Amino acid sequence: MMRTFLTILCLIVSARAEVVTAIDPFGEMPRGKTVVWSPLFQASWDAMNKELGGKPVKVYPPNELMARLDSFEWDADKVMPVGKWKVWSGRATEDFLETVNREAAAMTGEPKGPFTLANEHPGGLAFFGLLDREVEFLSPFFKSVKLPMEFGEEKSEVEFFGTKGDFSNQYGEAVKVLAHRPVDGSHALEVSCKGGDDKVIFYRPPAGQDFATACKWLREWRKAFEWNAELPGTWNDRLLHKNDEVRVPYVSLDLKEDFTDKLAGGRFHEKAGAPWRIARAEQVTKFKLHEKGARVRVETSMEAEPFGSMSDDSVPRRFFYDRPFFVFLWRDGAEWPYFGAWIGDASALRKF
């Protein structure tokens, strides 16, 4: 009986610890789970529509998710990191796959590319996408060696990095305080990175939000941001100051998700014959966050077939990411991030 109980308990814990991939930023967030999203899938979807001569004139039966993907408007060149991403579209043949993998390997510096074909279909199309970006903080944080952080309602003890005391005064303009709202416990920090216009943003919302809502708030705060020299040391200081404390958990995740069943329905394109169906839609996501920076790797695979200096009186603030929070990789001036993760539970965090 005890063994059966333990087995059931392990299955429950395993189910709760599942990491989920979001196809677009508007979907409802599953409660108590970590979720990742990157517009790389959108870029691959756009490449498919372009290959088929434009967006479909009809989808039957109607599919809300496909409708959101077809209607999404963005500027991929401004959002995605320069030279660190690419999408491919072409006939679902081994020759096309060989070309894609050769170019992908050149991007990553690996011996061979990561992609495969599920089915070589003479009349079918294949679409692949790759995002491979590593960023390094302009000023690294410090790893906590002796003290764990308790994360979430379950108080899971996890490793974290950050800063406190006199050290918080040394980051200067490398860390912006986009928001600090003690009334509801929400706050957001933007950390600058070396060698480009990349930023890493940490955002702890007052309550659960979807990616689109989180991005809406962050767009507003980033646009309205001003250097307020008259506010040093106050609760509304736009920079970190002495006695501020930052705690961010280490994140490490590696997952693969299949979206094919969610994208069911015939897609009728005006110039490409009718109808077409999504025969394969997958995404592989790898992400790491640590005291020196972050690394993200996203791979998308799709196939479509025809139907056939502060004073001591400064106000100490606590930027603790010890409950569910967002982390984004976002280019300066871009409307959307190129990667986002909602850390909804401790499954992707390093145990202390």
pLDDT digits (tens, 9 = 90+) for 125-167: 999 999 999 999 999 999 999 999 999 999 999 999 999 999 9
Q: Is residue 229 part of a domain?
A: yes
The region of weakest confidence among 293-297, 312-316, 327-331 is: 312-316
193 lies in the same domain as 319: yes
pLDDT above 80 for 2? no
Scored b (16 or more CB within 10 A) or e, 43-55 reads bbbbbbbebbeee
pLDDT attached to residue 18? 81
The region of weakest confidence among 81-95, 105-119, 193-207, 231-245 is: 231-245
76 lies in the same domain as 206: no
275 lies in the same domain as 320: no
pLDDT attached to residue 7? 34
243 lies in the same domain as 161: yes
Q: Is residue 16 part of a domain?
A: no
Domain range for 339 is: 139-251+311-343
Q: For residue 173, what pLDDT band results from cuts at 50, 70 and 90?
A: very high
pLDDT above 70 for 5? no
223 lies in the same domain as 339: yes
Q: How many CB atoms lie within 10 A of CB 159?
A: 18
Q: For residue 312, what pLDDT band results from cuts at 50, 70 and 90?
A: low
The region of weakest confidence among 71-80, 163-172, 207-216, 272-281 is: 272-281
Of residues 6 and 233, more confidence is placed in 233
68 lies in the same domain as 126: yes
Give the count of domains, the chain. 2
Give kind and range of the element (H or E) at residue 41. Answer: helix 40-51
192 lies in the same domain as 77: no
The region of weakest confidence among 100-109, 111-120, 213-222 is: 111-120
Average pLDDT over residues 257-262: 96
190 lies in the same domain as 283: no
| pLDDT above 90 as % of the chain | 80
293 lies in the same domain as 328: no
Of residues 314 and 110, more confidence is placed in 110
Q: For residue 190, what pLDDT band results from cuts at 50, 70 and 90?
A: very high
**What is the phi-psi region of residue 169: left when phi exceeds 0, alpha when psi lies from -120 to 50, beta otherwise?**
alpha
Q: Is residue 351 part of a domain?
A: no
pLDDT attached to residue 327? 95
The rounded mean pLDDT for the chain is 90
Q: Is residue 186 part of a domain?
A: yes
148 lies in the same domain as 204: yes
pLDDT attached to residue 309? 38
Helix axes 64-71, 40-51, angle to 10 degrees: 90
pLDDT attached to residue 273? 74
CB-based contact 21:286 (threshold 8 Å): no
Q: Is residue 150 part of a domain?
A: yes
199 lies in the same domain as 332: yes
pLDDT attached to residue 337? 94
- Closest among 347, 292, 287 to 162, alpha carbons compared: 292
180 lies in the same domain as 238: yes
CB-based contact 329:200 (threshold 8 Å): yes
pLDDT above 70 for 182? yes
